[in-house]
Structure 1
């Protein structure tokens, strides 16, 4: 108890000191103390969103110098959405997406692709097609985008926000034209386009049990039962301190999705407070970050935690929620907020990862996807594996390197010729 009390006092002191300087504007932003977020633990990827034109922002140097050491996963806010990539039929604009992919590769970041089928930010030309023409256009878009970035994007939001709050299907142009089949058809096409990519369903207000979360659960359970290729669920996690959270319900909800064999991704987290917050609001915001992330770190199925931007200077919140703002972990001057240190402390609760030989995507089983991943690695299409300790897990003969022998051993295992990997007997 004494150790916990000392740790609590340290966190509280950090919260108070950061709150005091929240609205100051020093010439140089304060560098966070302690380890950078991605370095606190190694089991879960820690990510952020980048806006289009991130490299040409007026303060791009400060933006990138703050973000780059903190994270190891990035999502494009807009440049990988349909209207940005394919504004007119079969005419693609790769400029901004290529910039993000190239930056990520140069800085050893994984990429979260966002998004394919969504009711919003879709160009007008696709919204009035016939069912067959719409399906053909969807297939072409998925093929072209995933083909261009094959082996380079870790996870894709294949379908985004297809449910209403009451659990009914959203009456989108997709649904009106193709019925609910557009969702599974998108997943099937995406798996064929890039077998190595993780495919997830992403939505907001799924965090707790209720009609919307139940609808997503039932859809994904049905997909699993019928062999529709889906790998995970994305909890967007847009929160507001005005609304209480049942953290235990969140943990139970994660567990039921994990029990389906799904990976869990927190994809767009932010916690809204007022436009002119008090120190008490900043502390409450920090507690939301801390409690959510602690629950995530206790759930082995959680593979990534992402914030929807990192600095309040570039946030969607004030334009969308009047009177609400300051939802992120750095302030407008790039100073770490109490929420940053709460995030940092919560990540430290991560359990020590274990090695499961052959399970290169951390799905809980060794299967054809793992075989595909080791092949992609040997061909040079990827440089690492999705699973934590993936390089160790791929070294099936414990030789110290991942090579063609490991590929052959994986094949023998999948064919049933062997039941254990050599590395497991050493």
Structure 2
């Protein structure tokens, strides 16, 4: 709550020219209706209707939704056998009421899994048999509850590193590579009609492309259902190049699955990656990494809009390969990029501004479709 209040005060304090509303009468979901689903992630304020302005944007503009946090295992099953479905139930009900393509995110992920999942009463790693049973119980309980309602699941999230090796998570430490086919098997058994996806970031790195493609082919050769690869698309102004991203999209599609652009936003801020860890002037560094507290300069705004247009042009070029494109949030105010990787940064990565206004880039994106 403190973060929201601070961000809200910042929005009022900023003195800049208001962002012009899009003059197009065509919404994003109307423009892309015959191409692919266009979606957004929903936070708890939106799911429970306390952020009504964002809710109206979601209803008007998007045809698909995914829960930002409330369907991750640490929230759904904080203690073994004790499930909490209130937020997830509300999220799914919202999607059904508004006739949206609902995505469940995520069944197996090392980062936001509860600690009990991997340990026994003495704090030691559980046996492979115990972890398999816990995975099966969690996946079966969750997927069965929303059978026929949630249309697609991010089954496994972020299991591969940029060099193509497996992340040394607790899932991998205890079960090895087997945890991935098991997760897909359990999900399919719980809802045979749901689409099942593998989801990851830095998805354009050559080593990751090769490893994920190999994994998808192996699952399919074993008769295990997998319908898509999720490309998170947390991108910046410089990397990846459009050519790099296109090569990745084509490579994943060639494995026989659809491409899902799952968590897209474009950060306008400089990247801290690659800077020295021994920074003597921390204040100067933080200022350098947070340069646009009063709004984007005109030249940066132009470059940022072009970046979005270039990506959506690419998506339209390969629309036959794409199932959906999902933005990771609705407005700049609530984007996680404001505090990542340095707390207090002010970023402008999404299609709607801090005052819930449509940015001019939306009209440019819509025009790409010919609508």
Q: Which residue of 1 aligns with 2:24?
A: 33
Kept in 1, the 8 Å contact 2:209–2:252? The answer is: no
Shift of 1:245: 3.4
| CA-CA distance at 1:345 after TM superposition | 2.8
Shift in Å, 1:57? 6.3
Report the CA distance between 1:297 and its aligned residue: 1.6
**Could you say if the C-alpha distance between residues 91 and 285 of structure 1 is closer, same or farther in structure 2, counting changes exceeding 3 Å?**
same
Matched, 1:74 2:74: no
Once the 2 structures are TM-superposed, how far is the Cα of residue 91 of structure 1 from its aligned partner? 0.9
Matches within 5 A, 1:85-124: 85-124=76-115
Spell out, residue by residue over 1:279-307, the C-alpha distance to the aligned partner (whole angstroms, 9 max, x if none): 22222121221111221122211010000
**1:283 touches 1:339 (CA, 8 Å); kept in 2?**
no
- Residue 312 of structure 1 aligns with which residue? 332
Q: Is 1:341 equivalent to 2:357 in the alignment?
A: no
Q: Is the 8 A contact 2:22 2:363 kept in 1?
A: no
The CA RMSD over aligned residues, in Å, is: 2.0
Distance 2:72 2:364 in 1: 32
Relative distance call for 1:316 and 1:108 in structure 2 (3 A) is same
Q: Distance in 2 between matches of 1:22 and 1:138?
A: 51
Distance 2:242 2:341 in 1: 24
Tell me if structure 2 keeps the 8 A contact 1:205–1:213.
Answer: no
Separation in 1 of the partners of 2:56 and 2:370? 27
1:273 maps to 2:268? yes
The two structures have a TM-score, normalised by structure 1, of 0.72
More displaced stretch, 107-116 vs 275-284: 275-284
Q: Does the 8 A contact of 2:22 with 2:359 survive in 1?
A: no
The size of the alignment, in residue pairs, is 324
The 10-residue stretch of structure 1 (320-329 or 170-179) with the greater mean CA deviation from structure 2: 320-329
User: Structure 2 regions of 5+ residues with no counterpart?
Assistant: 1-13, 120-125, 270-289
Greater RCO, 1 or 2 (C-alpha within 8 Å, sep 6+): 2
Give the 5 Å matches for 1:164-175.
Answer: 164-175=161-172
- Helix, strand or coil at the partner of 1:179: helix
Q: 1:330 aligns with which of 315, 329, 352?
A: 352
User: SS where residue 265 of structure 1 aligns?
Assistant: strand
- State the Cα distance separating 1:33 from its structure 2 match: 2.5
**Partners of 2:66 and 2:103 within 8 A in 1:** yes
Q: Which runs of 4+ in 1 moved over 6 A?
A: none
TM-score of the superposition, structure 2-length normalised? 0.83
Q: Report the CA distance shift for 1:239/1:23 in structure 2 as closer, same or farther (over 3 A).
A: farther
Distance in structure 2 (CA, Å) of the matches to 1:345 and 1:171: 44
- State the distance in 2 between where 1:89 and 1:283 align: 50
Q: CA deviation at 1:32?
A: 5.2
Who is 1:203 aligned against? 200
2:216 to 209, 220, 231: 220
Deviation at 1:41, TM superposition (A): 2.9
Relative to 1, partners in 2 of residues 1:264 and 1:126: Cα closer, same or farther, differing over 3 Å?
same
**Offset of residue 209 of structure 1:** 4.9
Question: 1:335 Cα shift?
Answer: 1.4
Out of 38, 57, 61, which is 1:46 matched to? 38
Q: 1:31 to 1:286 in 2, by over 3 A?
A: closer
C-alpha displacement of 1:324: 5.7
CA contact 2:54–2:330 (8 Å) conserved in 1: no
Please say if residues 273 and 324 of structure 1, whose CA atoms lie closer than 8 Å, have aligned partners that are also in contact: no
- Give CA-to-partner distance per residue, 1:105-136, whole Å, 9 cap, x none: 11111111100111111111102232111110
Q: Residue 282 of structure 1 corresponds to which residue in structure 2?
A: 301
The CA distance in 2 between the partners of 1:62 and 1:324, in whole Å, is 21
